[in-house]
Structure 1
Amino acid sequence: MTDAQVKVEDLEIRLLLDALYYRFHYDFRNYAMSSIRRRLRQARVDMGCATISALQEKVLHDADMLPQMLRYLTVQVSEMFRDPGYFKAIREHVVPHLRTYPSLKVWVAGCSTGEELYSLVILFREAGLEERTLFYATDINPDALARAQAGVYDLERVRKFTENHRLSGGDTSLSDYYHTGYDRCVLDKSLRRNVVFSDHSLVSDQVFGEMQFVSCRNVMIYFDRALQDRAIGLFRDALPRNAFLGLGAKETLRFSGHAAAFRDFVPAEKIYQRTGA
């Protein structure tokens, strides 16, 4: 594309993002433009639209198009116990502190289709903390939330899940937590008994409770700097002193205006502890 065409396309993208915000209250306006541009180009091709403007017209005038659009604009790539070192660090370093609390609240922000949520529930069950813990699983995509609540995954993914669980220090067999059928892995419904699923936007919503642990991994890499700072501010407000925040491998607090409110706890795995600052 020529520079002129890119400028026109970027204008179309901003108009589409404005339309999504003012019509449906989904705010992607401060997501990183490079990521949004790539996803909308793919959506345009897949939906048979010649331009982003044509894509906008479809979304505004066909109610069935919004869920499809959200699938392109929200990240739904995950796996159970993804980055096993992160979960091993929780087992070895965070859990001993959490044992001192009579009750716990854990927030999985941007839970997508639920793999990270269930990884934490299993980890807490193995650590003997599940019964005293309430898990909040939030996302802006209702389709992703519905899939998370169902807890059904392709059977071909289970081998990777199992290996990750082992590497994370799991002391049980992952097969204890699911059954199979019709090429699907169905997680045991007991894993959801202490889980609250809810739509929540890090872009526009506020904190809804005090948490002892917040895990938000591989979500903020798609935000621009201002929106990253807003999200970290929400986590700061949700976490009392000595509580914990876990981020993705490519995410950091280093450039945030809220960095002083946290200290490095397990730096290699991007786990931070709330200070009194």
Structure 2
Amino acid sequence: MTKTERGSHEPTLAGADKNELENIEIELLLCGIHRLYGYDFRNYSLPSLRRRIWHRVHGENLSSISALQEKVLHDRNCFERLIYSLSIPVTEMFRDPGMFRAFRRKAVPLLRNCPFIRIWHAGCSTGEEVYSMAILLKEEGLYDKARIYATDINNRSLQQAKEGVYELSKMQQYSQNYLEAGGKRAFPEYYTAKYNSVIFQPALRQNIIFAEHNLATDTSFNEFNVIFCRNVMIYFNDELREHVHSLFFESLSRFGLLVLGAKESIHFTRHSDSYEPLDRAEKIYRKIK
């Protein structure tokens, strides 16, 4: 039998088999990351993971997920690049201005009664939402008695958040968001422009603590009056979402506030009956049990 004849009878992978092979590759990659580095992405949404993993495969000039697994397990720098791809930050200052406006109107009066305020921004990305909250608290006279904990799994994003440096080109949009969110001053008063970047006032960082925290594997580390977790759990599967909601429930003080993203909800979780809506439209909930 000739080589051509042998090749014509070799089995080929059907579409369903290729998908199954790809799922196995992803599973092995995520298990390897969890065992070697301690990061657990195994309960993240599979379609989102697949898309971002292939982005990293191409970015490393590789041809398969298995090849990426080999490189990730032997090259810490490659692992760091993958982590960044799996947690690509999408955020902006005063994103969804209506939420910040509702927070000023409905949450701030409740916080005035607290002797000390602890706020957790879970999945803070590059820090735009954190600085937005710091500005809001400054304007409401609450910043001096507040401590903001800003956490993320992505160390590269956290580093940018710590520096408070952002692109000058984004400030026009951020200024508009700020005004729509009920801002009380001129937005440029909060930063200094230099070349094509801006740096936010160091005073805004005075009461902010930036730290790595993995919502999938790490536990509660304090009791909070407010927890923000916006547009993070949309990337999780049902099991991980339930786990994170339990983490937040354990971390909130009684009558504490949980603020979710526009596409997220407290409904259909085991703790849904333990909250009441402070502002249903803006996804601000108050713990009552």
Scaled by the length of structure 2, the TM-score of the pair is: 0.94
Whole-Å Cα distance in 2 between the matches of residues 248 and 205 of structure 1?
21
In structure 1, the residue corresponding to 2:80 is in which secondary structure?
Answer: helix
TM-fit CA distance, 1:238: 1.1
Question: 1:137 — aligned with what?
Answer: 150
Question: Of the candidates 85, 99, 111, which is equivalent to residue 86 of structure 1?
Answer: 99
- Confirm or deny that 1:264 pairs with 2:270: no
TM-fit CA distance, 1:242: 1.1
Question: 2:197 — aligned with what?
Answer: 184
Q: Per-residue CA shift, 1:151-195, capped at 9, x if unaligned?
A: 111111111111100000001111111011120011111111001
Q: Matched residue pairs, number?
A: 276
Whole-Å Cα distance in 2 between the matches of residues 68 and 100 of structure 1?
44
Whole-Å Cα distance in 1 between the matches of residues 77 and 56 of structure 2?
14
- Confirm or deny that 1:198 pairs with 2:180: no
Q: Per-residue CA shift, 1:229-271, capped at 9, x if unaligned?
A: 1111111111121110000000001111111111111000000
What 5-or-longer segments of structure 2 have no aligned partner?
1-13
TM-fit CA distance, 1:66: 1.6
Question: 2:288 — aligned with what?
Answer: 275
TM-fit CA distance, 1:75: 3.3
Scaled by the length of structure 1, the TM-score of the pair is: 0.98
TM-fit CA distance, 1:43: 1.1
Opposite residue 115 of structure 1, the aligned amino acid is E
- Confirm or deny that 1:246 pairs with 2:259: yes
**Matched-pair contact (CA < 8 Å) for 1:229–1:258:** no
Opposite residue 114 of structure 1, the aligned amino acid is G
Question: 1:106 — aligned with what?
Answer: 119
**Matched-pair contact (CA < 8 Å) for 1:115–1:148:** yes
Opposite residue 281 of structure 2, the aligned amino acid is A
In structure 2, the residue corresponding to 1:242 is in which secondary structure?
Answer: strand
- Confirm or deny that 1:124 pairs with 2:137: yes
Q: Per-residue CA shift, 1:79-133, capped at 9, x if unaligned?
A: 0000000111100110010001111000000001001100100011011100000
In structure 2, the residue corresponding to 1:166 is in which secondary structure?
Answer: helix
**Matched-pair contact (CA < 8 Å) for 1:75–1:219:** no
What 5-or-longer segments of structure 1 have no aligned partner?
none
- Runs (4 or more) in structure 1 with deviation over 3 Å come to none
- Confirm or deny that 1:150 pairs with 2:163: yes
Question: Of the candidates 1, 5, 10, which is equivalent to residue 23 of structure 2?
Answer: 10
Opposite residue 268 of structure 1, the aligned amino acid is A
- Confirm or deny that 1:235 pairs with 2:254: no
In structure 1, the residue corresponding to 2:246 is in which secondary structure?
Answer: helix
- Confirm or deny that 1:71 pairs with 2:89: no
- Confirm or deny that 1:163 pairs with 2:179: no
Superposed counterparts of 1:32-51, under 5 Å: 32-51=45-64
Opposite residue 7 of structure 1, the aligned amino acid is E
Whole-Å Cα distance in 2 between the matches of residues 2 and 154 of structure 1?
44
Whole-Å Cα distance in 2 between the matches of residues 4 and 123 of structure 1?
53
Q: Per-residue CA shift, 1:24-46, capped at 9, x if unaligned?
A: 00100000101101111111112
